[in-house]
Amino acid sequence: MRLLVSGGLGFIGSNFCRLILTDHKDTAVVNIDKVGVGANPANLRDLENDKRYTFIKGDICDSQLLKKVVKRIDAVVNIAAETHVDRSISDPYVFLQNNTLGTFTLLEALRKHNDKARLVQVSTDEVYGEIPEGAFTEKDAVKPSNPYSASKAAADMFVQAYHKTYGLKTFITRCTNNFGPFQFPEKLIPKTIIRAMRNLPIPVYGSGENVREWIYVLDHCEAILSVLTKGTPGEVYNVSSGNELCNLELVKRILALLDKPEELVSYVEDRPGHDLRYSLNSSRIQTELGWKPRFSFIDALESTVKWYVKNEEWWKPLASEGVLSPTPWKTSDHG
């Protein structure tokens, strides 16, 4: 199989490419990435000489580039996206362009030049909005609360429309918050680790009671592959772990792993449209496709903390002033 991965130099994308190239020797990967915010060529540098791996620096909004590339592939996993909620609030147009228009451009390329290829759209639990209790199923309507989730929800709608209207073989995965190695430093878990290592205040929105469900990135990558190879076209698959924690408890666990005092927690003004709780029911993918998370949250979190401690040379060039500054800084709780 010849697989096109968009956004393969990002956090989830690079972990997914690594999974394919390491464990699936019969698959070649073409990685398109514009190397924007969140992308890092160092994420896959050790695999650059693999003959099954091709990197193309480019934007999925470039229809002429996609025209050339999609003709030679069997499937697409669209992971390219702007993901930082705070950035979407300050500059929503970038999210509309990259997340919505980028997905539309990719769909058009497939419709016109390779309508037999399968497409997995990697989405997010945030499209459903908040849920005070219980968990969203794939049948629930989307109700996004911020420009980031709105741009992803709009992209999902185009994906579903292109399946129904043009018969494209599309699939959507909606996953809870990811964590693990190669995650951009401004995200909640790596930012907390980095600031704690430097004995800097750890910014927490509001009271820290916002609840998120956390999944190790490799579990998510395996779920994407399961949907690509075994899913039913036109369907949505929720991906979750059952590991629900409020942001404050998560930060405290990281501080404990680093043997740092809880006094480092610094409460900051809450952000607009901050959903209180996300939660997904992933029984469908587990029952129909046989996927389930393999990594325990405690072990995966400890492994992630150790990775950032040992890999300062990776994250330091990417860390913004907001990550490294001694001044408390707002952070995103989106994984």
- Active-site residues, by number, are 125-126, 148
Least Cα distance to 196 among 244, 139, 259 occurs for 259
One-character DSSP codes across 153-185: HHHHHHHHHHHHHH--EEEEEEE-EEESTT--T
What residues contact 138, with CB distance under 8 A and at least 6 apart? 174, 235, 236, 237, 238, 284
Environment class of 90 (CB within 10 Å of its CB; exposed 0-12, middle 13-18, buried 19+): exposed
Q: Do the beta carbons of residue 271 and residue 86 sit within 8 Å?
A: yes
What is d(CA 161, CA 43) in angstroms, rounded to the nearest whole number? 34
Coil, helix or strand at residue 203: strand
Helix, strand or coil for residue 277?
strand
The CB density around residue 35, as the number of other CB atoms within 10 Å, is: 14
3-state secondary structure of 34: coil
Close Cβ partners of 57 (under 8 Å, ≥ 6 residues apart): 33, 34, 35
Angstrom distances, CA of residue 289 to CA of 4, 61, 203, 300, 320: 22, 32, 39, 23, 40
